[in-house]
Structure formats: C-alpha cells, structure tokens
A and B are shown apart, each in its own frame.
Chain A
Amino acid sequence: MTHILLRHRDIPDIHKLDVYQRNGGFAAFKKAVTEMKPEDVINVVKASVLRGRGGAGFPTGMKWSFMDRNNWPHYVVANADESEPGTFKDREIMESNPFQFLEGVAIASYAVGANAAYVYLRGEFWQVAHFLDERIAEMEEAGFLGEKLFGKDYSLKIYTHLGAGAYICGEETAMLESLEGNLGQPRIRPPFPPSYGLYGKPTVVNNVETLTNVPMIIANGAEWYKSMGTADSPGNKVFSLSGRIKKPGNYELPLGATFRELIYGQGGGIIDDRPVRAIMAAGASSSMIVADDKALDTPMDYASVRTLGADLGSASVIVIDDTVSLDWVVNKTIHFFKHESCGKCTPCREGNYWMQHLTERIHSGEGTQADVDLLYTVAKQMQGKCLCALGEFATMAVVTGIERFPDDFKSAVRS
C-alpha cells in the first residue's frame, strides 16, 4: 500500500526540503494561503472527518471551528509529547517525514489565524527538536515561514519547545501550563483551549500525526481522504506495535484493519509462536482486551474497539502472550502512573500510591485475595473523580485486568 503518513518508506530522503517539494511538498500550504479562506480550510478538514490521533479521537475540523474569534492572538500547539508507553509513531514521523508534519502545523495555523505555533516535544526528544529546528530554519529560508507568505498578508513562525520528562504534559492543558513556564499540571476544563489556551488565548492543540494528515487532505480533498478507513473513522492510522511480537514497529494501515492483520499480517506473529493472551490497544492506558478470535477479527477503528470494552486511543498496540502474568503487567502500569501522577488532585495522587503498594504486594506473592479485591475497589473509587484523564487511565488496566483475567491474580496471591 501507499503510505500517506510514513511516506519516507516510499520516498527516500523526503526529509530533505528539495525532495519533499518535488513530491508536492508545501503545495497544500500555498493553496490554502493563496486560494482558500481560513474557514474554507476548516471546512475541508471538517468534511474529511479527520479525528485526533493523540488518543481522544475528537474531530479535528470541529476543534478548529471552536476557536474564539473575539479573543486574539490565536496559537497552535503541536503535541509532540509522545509519552504513552507503547507509542512511538510521532517520533518516526518527525524524524523521517518532518516537512509534512510542519506543513500540517502551518496549514492549521493559517486555518485558525495563528501567527505563532509551538511544537511541544517531550524533553527526551532532544535530538528530534534540534533536527526540527534545522528544518524550520530551512523553511524560513525557502519562504514557507516568516512574513507575508506567498505574497499574502499572512505571517507565521514555528518554534520548538522541549519538555523535561513528564507524561502529564501530553494532557493538553498541562502542556500549556508547562509551555507557560509553570508546573505541568492540568487545568480545570472547561474552559477548553480553543477558548482559553496558551497565555489565556484561544489555542488549538493537535497531535503530530493528526497534523501530518492535514497537507494530504488539503491537497487531495476530503472525499479522497474518506475513501480510506471506515465511514466513522476515515483515513490511515499509524499503529505502534510492541510487546511480545516478532516484528515490532510502526505500521500505517487504514482505520478498520483488524488486530489479526496487524499482529499476524504485519507483525509476523508472536515471539516463539506462543499464543496471544491480551492486547492493550491504547498503551498503558488501555483496558485489557482478551485476545480471543472475536477480538482478533475486530476492526481497529474507534467505534469497533469500543465493542470490546476498550479504546483505540493512540493505537499503541502492546501484545501480551502467556509468558507473563497480568498481575505483573498491572504492577508495571501502576508503577508508571504512580511515577507520572502530577500530584494535583487527590484521587490520582493518593490512589496510585495506594494501588502501587497493593500491586507490589500481589506481584511479590505476599498478597491475598483481599488485596486483589481492595485493589479493584480502590481503582473503582478513583474512577470519575480525578481532575484529568491520567487518574482514569491508571485504573483501566487494573479494573479490566482483574475482571477479565481473574485467574492470573488468584494464582499470584497466597491462598
């Protein structure tokens, strides 16, 4: 198949400006600025039904249309904080197809009337940030960024901003706080960033992969885009495949491809050809999917995955076979969330601390069934009470792990 996101796999050296331009690069941005009104751009993206690729799957065009027109300036912030365990797609896009991403940032900025855009990268993407800085400089040199672009009255600057090691900064309001120079702790929502964002100004926050779709949509139109994927979830998606898999890596597939296609078709099956037991489709934040035939044949789109009692999220598919027990998996995820909880709200701060004590005890073999039951209760008690989604995410694997793989926990504890 032809890639529309991981285009570097078809076109060598697309990270070079001349190669990118020879392959249609910046034509979409030019078209937008010279031939389209900002609202036209928004309408095309709306019509494409592009959904946010960061995890929530919110329609992108709709988000752009929410920008408060009575409050200026506007900002665009690209979410390149990719920190969900099991997710590594944005990094590949930025490293190998950087201009398409940056063109997406530029088009989004034009659409919402922003003259400054920030790319917020996780601090660990130090090298990626420097690489992007060079690409941005090349774009400025070539006249794709700066004043009076394409002779029109539109100017744009793109800046990179490095985080410094905090998963929570992937949450959009925490990211804005961090970008403002504060602790990366989420804000209360509403208000949402399109009405109160960076520096209190209307802001669009979009994931890297989402933005990378945009130039192709503007260049080829909404109908072209909707011809891929499913009606509810059109387009391609980059699936990050990891865990007990023979060929881990990123795979760009149309939304709606099945788990079986990804795991056995692309990923080459399970290491040592062992049976797959569980799938986490949204990284560490996943609900545990029991990997039976029904699940394996379920299409990977936002709606279908929900029928399995799980979410597609960022499509970070972690494959778990029978070499590990789910109590170990849950201990790992809780260790992560306890480390990454920002501490702002009580249920997440205290709940993760409490759950970690319980999962440690259970995994070490010191626990009893009462500990498992309590772990389940604590997770349930956290649900619906946290300030942001992180606390909620932390409970997913715990609750569904215990519900769907009770035997793993039974055999882990003292009887």
Chain B
Amino acid sequence: MSLAEKYPKEVKQILAKYPPEHKRSAVMPLLYMAQREEGYVNKAAMQDIASILDLSETEVASIVGFYTLYHDKKEGKYRMQVCTDLPCALRGADTFLSNLCSNLGVKVGETTPDGLVTIEAVMCLAACDKAPMFQVQSGDGLEYHENMNVDKTLELIEALRKSGQEVKK
C-alpha cells in the first residue's frame, strides 16, 4: 500500500501547510511520516513521496541523504544520540558515552544485539546546560533526556525493552 493510500488524511494535512504550487515543501514532513514505521525511509516510500510531489525519486533521495535525522538503513528500534559537542564534552559527555558503550558492549555507531538501541554520537542538541544528555529517535519521534548518567540510561533502555515486549504480547 502506498503512503498516500495508507495516510490519506495526514498527507492532505501536510500538503495544506504549503502553497499548492510549492508542494515540494512537503517533502520533509512526508519523509518523517514515511520513517515512522521502520525507522528509516525505504525506496518504495521515496517513490511514493516522489509521485505525491511530482518529483523524481533522486530528488527525494537527496533530501534523505543531506539531513542527519533521515535514515536510509535499518538500525536499532531506538537511536540513542548522545551529544558530544564542545559544551557537552566540557561537562563529561565523552566519558559518559564511552562508559555507556562499555556497559552495553557496543561501540559508537553499533546496535545492541537485540536490535533495540543504536548508540550514536551527534552534534549539539541545544541542551548544553544539561549535559550529559541525549535524544532518543524512533519512528514515533524524538525525546530529550537531560542531566543523564549511565545508570539512569541503562534503566531507560530496560524500560524501552519492556515496553516493546508488552506491545508484542
């Protein structure tokens, strides 16, 4: 089923934000919508968006490639994106990240063996006063977690794991 068939109302709502002759503007919100289910944008979704907006597939793909919050590959269900930029690093973000990784037994950029969490290092998230901090990106959106430490983070991961299992049940 195409995106337009699956989410007709939402596609309409998104398009309504922009002048009809400039519907290309809707490519970014449509990509977020496409990313909802699997956490990444697959080729079929790119085709769907291209046909909704009268673009070429390549034009849609270019947007996916340029922006870091769009993904073209499947990774963990949750992407834990730790800010290690200068202000956070001055407040221990690098140490936090390496401790977190060794606790999880993964390297930066890797996913936990259960496919639940991918650990990533990212650029400034505008929460420099609340380091260490990270955001969790999933298909459903983004959530900030500030003033974190490794223990609190491991608890969060456990909670995410459980919530996933509950949904499965």
Contact = CB atoms under 8 A, between A and B. Distances in A.
Check whether chain A touches chain B (CB < 8 angstroms). yes
Determine the main DSSP class of A at the interface with B. mixed
B28 A178 contact: yes
Contacts of B142: 123-124, 126-127
B108 to A, nearest CB: 13
Interface string B155-167: 0000000000000
Nearest to B128: A242
A324 B93 CA distance: 14
A333 B125 contact: no
A238 to B, nearest CB: 12
B124 interface: yes
Interface stretch (B2-10, B83-91, B95-103, B111-119): B83-91
A354 interface: no
A130 B89 CA distance: 29
Nearest to A167: B123
B156 to A, nearest CB: 16
B90 A165 contact: no
B34 interface: no
B31 interface: yes
12 contacts: A87-B126, A124-B126, A130-B141, A159-B17, A161-B28, A164-B63, A166-B66, A180-B24, A184-B67, A242-B87, A248-B128, A336-B86
A165 B129 CA distance: 20
B28 A85 contact: no
A126 B141 contact: yes
B144 A324 contact: no
Nearest to A130: B141
B22 A86 contact: no
Given A181-B53, A199-B22, A284-B85, A86 B124 contact: yes
A324 B28 contact: no
B150 interface: no
B16 to A, nearest CB: 9
A332 B91 CA distance: 13
A320 B29 contact: no
A91 B31 CA distance: 24
B62 A183 contact: yes
A410 interface: no
Interface in A265-318: 284, 316, 318
Interface string B72-94: 00000000000001110111000
A88 B85 contact: no
Interface of A: 82-88, 90-91, 122-127, 130, 159, 161-167, 178-184, 199, 240-244, 248-250, 284, 316, 318-320, 324, 329, 332-333, 336, 339-340, 342
A318 to B, nearest CB: 5
Contacts of A86: 86-87, 124, 128
A164 B69 contact: yes
Given A122-B126, A180-B25, A181-B53, A164 B90 contact: no
Contacts of B86: 85-86, 243, 284, 318, 329, 332-333, 336
B94 to A, nearest CB: 9
Contacts of A339: 123
Given A159-B17, A181-B25, 7 more contacts: A88-B126, A91-B126, A91-B127, A164-B63, A242-B129, A243-B86, A329-B86
Contact of B129 (A124, A179, A182, A241): A241
Nearest to B144: A127
B67 A179 contact: no
B27 interface: yes
Contacts of A241: 129
Given A248-B128, A248-B129, A336-B86, A164 B70 contact: yes
A84 B125 CA distance: 9
Contacts of A182: 24, 63
Contacts of B130: 248
Interface in B123-140: 123-131, 135
A284 B17 CA distance: 34
Contacts of B135: 124
Interface in B22-56: 22, 24-29, 31-32, 53, 55
Nearest to B23: A181
B49 to A, nearest CB: 10
Contacts of A164: 28, 31-32, 63, 67-70
B28 A242 contact: no
Given A124-B135, A159-B17, A333-B86, A250 B129 contact: yes
Given A162-B32, A284-B86, A336-B85, A83 B67 contact: no
Contact of B66 (A91, A179, A183): A183
Contact of A163 (B26, B28, B87, B128): B28
A161 B17 contact: yes
A124 B125 contact: yes
Q: Name which of B31, B122, B144 has the most chain A CB atoms within 10 A of its CB.
A: B144
A85 B67 contact: no
Contacts of B143: 126-127
A82 to B, nearest CB: 5
